[in-house]
């Protein structure tokens, strides 16, 4: 099912975060693994976008008033899911923002350039009906919190990559397009020894993209991402989002990850797949 690419990546990386692990794991989604804020917010954004599409005229999505209404549905959903899952592992800045936003119902972004915008952007890529709309939906999903240009660019890169892949473009095509956004002229082997925990889009989104571009299948993508020893769950969530649009997810891996989700998160995945059908 769609949207599980980010979720499986997140769960696979949950144990490795902060451990500076520099090897490819033998097995993904083990008993010790769990979903984190990456999965919660990926599904929160999906839920908010679906609510938005139900309430606005999609043909007018370029209009600022329609965008404002659409963003409101996204940010309300983010706050609701964060309230429902308070211990999912959010960053400190997000926690401070959410506490105020949920209490006052005043949803002002906080100019973040963090990779939280990119980790949660996969639904934008799947829902988009054109590359231009993928970029717009990526932007709208990001700027409710991450309105810094780098935060927006990170979400747009993931959304655009997914759209291109599901539209039949090759990995070479994706590399060429995303190279307009980021310098991808490096290999994982080159950066692995010195790479460390990074939460900025500019220092983690290109690495996640290359984890996908260097891979041979879905599992290989996640193992590539986890081998960098960085922000493991988020790197794998971003890379897995792209890989899902290119490769089949092994059934046993999908089943193990699915069993980690709560019934209400499973319900969002089901609703999203019905929406995208």
Question: What is the tens place of the pLDDT at every residue in 68-82?
Answer: 999 999 999 999 999
List C-alpha distances in Å: 266 to 102, 239, 272: 24, 21, 10
Give me 230's structure tokens: 């960085």
The Cα–Cα gap between 235 and 222 comes to 8
Give me 59's structure tokens: 């043909």
As a whole number, mean pLDDT of residues 165-174 equals 98
The Cα–Cα gap between 255 and 66 comes to 38
Q: What pTM does this model have?
A: 0.97
At residue 217, does pLDDT exceed 90? yes
The Cα–Cα gap between 247 and 242 comes to 9
The partner residues of 200 in beta bridges, in order of sequence, read: 114
- The C-alpha torsion from 39 through 206 and 107 to 265, rounded to 10°, is -10
pLDDT band at 118 (very low <50, low <70, confident <90, very high): very high
At residue 165, does pLDDT exceed 90? yes
What would the pLDDT profile of 32-52 be if each residue is shown by its tens digit? 999 999 999 999 999 999 999
pLDDT band at 106 (very low <50, low <70, confident <90, very high): confident
At residue 137, does pLDDT exceed 90? yes
pLDDT at residue 273, rounded to an integer: 98
At residue 142, does pLDDT exceed 90? yes
CB atoms within 10 A of CB 167: 13
Residue found under tokens 């780098």: 150
Percent pLDDT > 70 in the chain is 100
> 99-104, long-range: CB within 8 Å, 24+ apart, which pairs?
101/75
Residue found under tokens 């699915």: 258
């Amino acid at each position: 099912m769609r949207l599980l690419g980010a979720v499986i990546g997140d769960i696979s990386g949950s144990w490795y975060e902060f451990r500076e692990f520099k090897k490819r794991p033998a097995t993904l989604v083990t008993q010790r693994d769990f979903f984190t804020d990456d999965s919660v917010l990926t599904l929160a954004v999906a839920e908010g976008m679906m609510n938005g599409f139900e309430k606005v005229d999609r043909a007018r999505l370029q209009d600022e008033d329609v965008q404002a209404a659409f963003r409101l549905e996204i940010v309300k959903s983010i706050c609701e899911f964060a309230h429902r899952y308070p211990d999912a592992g959010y960053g400190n800045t997000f926690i401070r923002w959410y506490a105020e936003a949920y209490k006052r119902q005043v949803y002002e972004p906080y100019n973040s350039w963090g990779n939280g915008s990119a980790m949660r952007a996969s639904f934008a890529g799947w829902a988009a009906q054109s590359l231009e709309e993928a970029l717009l939906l990526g932007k709208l999903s990001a700027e409710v919190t991450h309105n810094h240009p780098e935060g927006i660019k990170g979400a747009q890169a993931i959304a655009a990559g997914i759209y291109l892949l599901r539209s039949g473009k090759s990995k070479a095509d994706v590399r060429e397009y995303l190279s307009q956004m980021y310098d991808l002229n490096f290999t994982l082997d080159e950066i692995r020894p010195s790479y460390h925990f990074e939460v900025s889009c500019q220092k983690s989104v290109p690495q996640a993209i290359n984890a996908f571009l260097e891979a041979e299948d879905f599992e290989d993508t996640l193992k590539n991402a986890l081998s960098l020893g960085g922000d493991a769950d988020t790197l794998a969530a971003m890379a897995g989002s792209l890989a899902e649009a290119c490769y089949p997810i092994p059934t046993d891996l999908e089943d193990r990850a699915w069993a980690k989700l709560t019934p209400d998160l499973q319900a969002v995945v089901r609703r999203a797949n019905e929406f995208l059908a």
